[in-house]
Structure 1
Amino acid sequence: MTTHDTDRLSSRDKILRAAMQLFGEGPGARLSVRAVAARAGVSTGSLRYHFPTQRALQDEVLTRVYDLAIPDDRINDRSVPARDRLVDCLRQVLGGAGVGEQARANLLRVVEQFVQPEPDEEIRAAYLAIEREILRRTIYWLTALEKEGALPEGDNARRARFLMAVVDGLGLTRAMPAEQAVLQSEDDTLQMAVDCVLTLPATGSGGSGLRQGAGD
């Protein structure tokens, strides 16, 4: 896109274009108000007018990025009930953990990389980048369901953190010498967690790292 073409964009489109550029430069990038406004060449007041909260901007960017990158994402298949789609998406996250020996090997690798060493800035940044990317993807799934009316309006970052805590626990269980029916038990737990998210509105300001620093 040329400079002339950029000048013809609305302020809102400039903001979204800048935010998507920042997102594309690194999955761990934070979409801070000041950084996006500076990249877009607009005032922070203009950005706040179009996107009153950092979460509103984040949700819109996530929707656009993932819709373009993964147009056939399972969450968009409305022929399947919302509950089943969200459970399947969470299974995708768990799929990388493996089962049994593979799960134990993956867990040991995580411990060696992020737990055993002294948590310096480089290790912390690497871990947080991975965490934010998984969280962003989960927020995208929840936002998609919210937009189609399958999920009550609420704090999707908070919901996502709850679901990620469930997934983390299930991943740990996969590495333990558990009973053979671990996957069936896992499926029941995922369904229960999804049912909780789909039926209860998420409110409150606690527990959302993505909402912190909204004025940065």
Structure 2
Amino acid sequence: MSDNTENRESEPSTRDRILIAAATMVSEDPGTRLSVRAVAARAGVSTGSLRHFFPTQRALMDEVAAGITGLVANKNVIEDSTVPADERLLACMQQVLSATGTGEQARDTWRRTFGTYLDSELNADAIDTYLAFSAAGLRHIEHWLDVLETEGALPPGDNTQRAAYLNVVLDGLSVARALPTDAARLRSETEVLQHAIAMLFHTAVPVPKGDSA
């Protein structure tokens, strides 16, 4: 009887089964349509159960995007205040880049990305998927900056804009990983990240117009 109880406790909940099924579908095809029937069938649950947890497709897509992004960007790293702030931010950005891989893995990642969003005509589902993942990624970067600013380690500023800046840096380095490279170029990747981070820590906050010194 105890064995059965342990097995039941180890089984994913209905909500988790839905998210795992949806995440798997997105991984297999980034432009897939997460329809209620398709996801419910993949998860082995009723459409009513899916609607109970996720009333809309947008709610489901946002949760899937946040979950996958969270696997790449571990929040524990940025919250470890025993480590210097700039080193934590560097580690977080390196985590994101590592998900791209290098060489053939990186090329495969970007082939699928470009094939979904650039080579073919975009449909509403592909657009929704891209926007959900983009927003989730930016929220994670903004969270890193919010944590550091709250600690007083990062000068006050517009973390939404700063997150967008760091995201562009990550995108550029991620694409570069898919191109022919060498050890020296991979080492310079860390230097680029360190420079981008230094810009945030040492840039003065603009004074709003109308304010006097």
Same fold per superposition (TM over 0.5)? yes
Tell me if 1:165 matches 2:171. Answer: no
Whether the 8 Å contact between 1:135 and 1:164 is mirrored in structure 2 is: yes
Q: 1:85 Cα shift? A: 0.2
Amino acid at match of 2:121: E
Q: Is the 8 A contact 1:27 1:129 kept in 2?
A: yes
Q: Which has the higher contact order (CA 8 A, sep 6+)?
A: 1
> SS of the counterpart of 1:88?
helix
How far 1:196 sits from its partner (Å)? 0.5
* CA gap 1:151/1:124 in 2 versus in 1, 3 angstroms: same
Q: Give the counterpart of 1:28 among 37, 42, 62.
A: 62
Residue from 84, 87, 109 that aligns with 1:84: 87
- 1:130: Cα distance to partner? 0.5
Aligned length: 143
Picking from 110, 127, 142, the partner of 1:124 is 127
Pair 1:152-2:155 in alignment:
yes
Moved over 3 A (4+): 24-29, 201-204
Distance 1:201 1:133, change over 3 A: farther
Indicate if the aligned counterparts of 2:146 and 2:159 stay in contact, CA closer than 8 A.
yes
Shift of 1:201: 4.6
2:143 maps to 1:140: yes
How far apart in 2 are the matches of 1:27 and 1:77?
Answer: 30
8 Å contact from structure 1 (residues 174, 182) kept in 2: no
| Aligned partner of 2:78 among 62, 75, 91 | 75
CA distance in 1, matches of 2:61, 2:151: 26
Is the contact between residue 27 and residue 132 of structure 1 (CA under 8 Å) also seen in structure 2?
no
3-state SS of the aligned residue for 1:73? helix
Aligned residues of 1:28 and 1:128 also touching (Cα < 8 A): no
Question: For residue 50 of structure 2, what is the aligned residue in structure 1?
Answer: none
Identity %: 37
Instruction: Report the CA distance between 1:123 and its aligned residue.
Output: 1.3
Deviation at 1:202, TM superposition (A): 5.8
Find the counterpart in structure 2 of residue 176 from structure 1: 179
Query: Which consecutive unaligned segments of at least 5 residues does structure 1 have?
Result: 1-21, 30-61, 205-216
In terms of Rg, which structure is larger? Answer: 2
TM-score relative to the length of structure 2: 0.61
Higher helix share goes to which structure?
Answer: 2
Measured on the aligned residues, the alpha-carbon RMSD in Å equals 2.5
> Structure 1 residue 114: deviation in Å?
1.3
Segments of 5+ residues of structure 2 without an aligned counterpart are: 1-55, 208-213
Corresponding residue for 1:190? Answer: 193
| Whole-angstrom CA distance in 1 between matches of 2:100 and 2:205 | 28
